[in-house]
Amino acid sequence: MGSILGAIMSKAVAIIGAGEIGRAIASILRRKKISVRLWDVDPAKVRGMKPIKETLAGTTAVFLCVPSWVLRAALRNVRPLLPRTAVVVVLSKGMEGKSKKTVAELLPDLLPPRQKWALLSGPMLAEELEQRRLGAGVIATANREVFQTLATLFRGTPLKVEWSKNPSAVAWAGVLKNVYAVGLGIADGLEWSWNAKGWFAAKALEEMHEIFDHLGFHAVHAAGVAGAADFLATGFSPYSRNREFGERIVSRGECEFKSEGCISLPSVVARLGAKTVRRFPVLHALSSVLIHHTDARKTFTKLFSGA
């Protein structure tokens, strides 16, 4: 393992996607004197950006900081240029609409057969990381050496990382926490009290546990950093796009930007089945508002009253 650790600290790391989280990860690594190469489909986002072939050449880790709905396209461009020994780290937290697969289910199909990969998930609000404030992440990989290698990158930084051997569970945690975070945004838009929002958060976490049990995952993943911690950070933070999306649905009747939670919800419903979704009142209410466009105030009032 020592040779791999030495290589990853001395050679370049590539970050594909120069949005908020991509730039935040870049800042963290650069403060450790790690060479970082940023690339984005929009050249205006990266000063002096090199072609993608040069960006990836000789890298030991490639971070994909793109939304789930463009992950397939991003990997289509990246795959033929990936160094064979590079570790691919994906931060997307959603489900692909067409295939209805999580990121953990997509990667084995989209990457070269022997390419090492991991998910990085958890409460990592980019604005806070940029301010050198604390964050927490789960590196999800079945390969202990991959975890140790990536953990070395973040050692001594404000981003605390831990290991999960179960990328599938971590991927589902990221999907569900975004869906339920939209609900807290709706509650904000409806000007619910903190008491009511506390009730909503408790019910959402309860449903996440039950859904994990239904899917055959241990509930510890729903209660952990990639699940409960990320849900609470995302659902209550003013920086969260998922929370803001829900709030704007109430105030404007629509939202001009996409959110992972709203994009993933139809796939979640399809994977669980409509009959199963009705067992989960909060998830059912969210699907009513976001998919079937029922009135948010009436739907959430009914949810809270238990009618």
The annotated binding site is made up of 17-22, 93, 126, 241-242
CA–CA gap between residue 9 and residue 236 (Å, rounded): 35
Binding-site members for NAD(+) are 17-22, 126, 241
Q: Tokens standing for 106?
A: 């997509």
CA–CA gap between residue 132 and residue 165 (Å, rounded): 28
Render the burial of 90-119: b for 16+ CB within 10 Å, e for the rest. bbbbbbbeeeebbbbbbbeebbeeebbbbb
| Residue 10, phi then psi, degrees to nearest 5 | -100, -20
Which residue in 45, 177, 197, 275 is the catalytic one? Answer: 177
CA–CA gap between residue 41 and residue 67 (Å, rounded): 13
CA–CA gap between residue 280 and residue 157 (Å, rounded): 39
- 160 catalytic per annotation: no
Give the residue from 292, 277, 268 showing the smallest Cα distance to 95. Answer: 268
Active site residues: 177
